Amino acid sequence: MSPATPETPANPTTPATPTSPASPANPASPTTPGERALRPALLLVGILLLAANMRAALTVVSPLMGQISDELSLPSFATSALISLPLLCFAVVSPLAPKLAARIGIERTLGLALGALALGIVLRSAPWTPGLWAGTVVVGSSIALINVLLPAMLKRDFPSKIGPLTGAYNGVQSGFAALAAGFAVPLASAPGFDWRLAIGCTAGIALVALAVFLPQLRSSAQHRPTPALLDPEQALEREAGRPKPMWRSATAWQVTIFMGLQSSLFYSVLTWWPAVEHDGGTSPVVAGAHMALIQAAGIVGSLSTGAVLRRTNPRIMTMVPVLVTATGILGQLAAPDLATLWAILLGLGTGGTIVTALALFGARTRDHHRAATLSGMAQSLGYLLAACIPPLLGAVHDLTGGWTAPLITLACVAVAAAVVGSLAARDRTID
């Protein structure tokens, strides 16, 4: 498929139209009226705390699925749906995030997401079975808003540091995800605790983030954007009418498919890897510890990929983490006794891959408005694909009676992601 609008070469890690962050006419500046006058350090803390909430509420569920299933008598399909349901929410809510942000502002939308996330976690932890499902929907919808708008915020406020900051915030989200996965079972087994309280504890992360983010909400409320603050490029775009639809760009589709395939890898591992390891002879306790190890290794993968993204051929840096993930998958199939090594490789690979996927939102667009639109498209369709793959792998397992065919299928997904990612990382900008 060829793009309907021309796509011009651009530096893969910097904005296509460089402007000074300190320029009064630049709407991307943190000191420009209509955006924010907060210090960059405070803004960075807010971004990192937002990132802390992007996975913890999801990874805390995976080690507890056995307890949840036993207490509520859930069939295996319903249990796996607790992981897949948030992905469906991502698919539905992601396209709405740019529109909501355009209406009430990025800061207010992110603040709303944090508040709703805390409420959703509490609802999911209540001793009421419908609350488990309703709360999961609220949690997934809230995280979807953060997923879409955080890359756009980086594009707007730190356009020359997209790679390193994307790696940093993904490292933070992997760190909190590892803590949530690692402490879930011990906390649920502690005296006076159960799986509901273990899940409910993650609401504290959202409340802390919301408290730190409040000054940014006040700054956003005091400075409302006005048409006079549009830069010349935005003014010409407004005069010419709306930009071309993102779905008419071949590059946008490549970014979207890559986002979907790499997300499928991560959430398939999140859903099934303890079962895969247990089938290979690993005890449930060790398999749960390996889930935390995968998240911890993801921190290293995120930070290292973000650090070298600007200094390395982006097509190579997009392919390498996916191939590392494929090595971990096939390694578990060939030598399950080395499960610790394969868990480390899975963490390194998936941690690096999400950084390259999210960095593409800013690298392939000219401004934060288009970055938000591309992020909404890629995450909506991408997570829809990611929601389908884990149940598919479970169905293949049930049909074949083992994990050989599912793991081979997952390795093929990784290879496809490497190919599509190399195309998405080409030096082009979506007009």
**CB-based contacts of 138, cutoff 8 Å, min separation 6:** 116, 117, 119, 120, 123, 124
Residue 23 lies in a domain: no
Which parts of the chain have pLDDT scores under 50? 1-37, 222-240
Please check whether residue 27 is in contact with residue 234, taking contact to mean a CB–CB distance below 8 angstroms. Answer: yes
The pLDDT assigned to 117 comes to 95
Residue 372 lies in a domain: yes
By three-state DSSP, how is residue 36 classified?
coil
Residue 2 lies in a domain: no
Counted domains in the chain: 1
The pLDDT assigned to 218 comes to 66
Residue 13 lies in a domain: no
Please check whether residue 332 is in contact with residue 397, taking contact to mean a CB–CB distance below 8 angstroms. Answer: no
The pLDDT assigned to 22 comes to 37
C-alpha distances in Å from residue 234, one per residue of 13, 34, 97? 21, 15, 20
**CB-based contacts of 242, cutoff 8 Å, min separation 6:** none
CB atoms within 10 A of CB 416: 15
The pLDDT assigned to 219 comes to 60
- CATH classification of the domain holding 83: 1.20.1250.20
C-alpha distances in Å from residue 143, one per residue of 22, 155, 289, 298? 31, 19, 25, 19
pTM of the model: 0.72
Residue 168 lies in a domain: yes
The pLDDT assigned to 242 comes to 61
- Give the range of the structural domain holding residue 201, as residue numbers without chain letter: 32-430
Residue 323 lies in a domain: yes
Residue 16 lies in a domain: no
Task: Give the tokens for residue 389.
Answer: 């793959």
**How far is Cα 178 from Cα 340, in angstroms, rounded to an integer?**
15
Residue 423 lies in a domain: yes
User: Rg for the chain (alpha carbons), in Å?
Assistant: 21
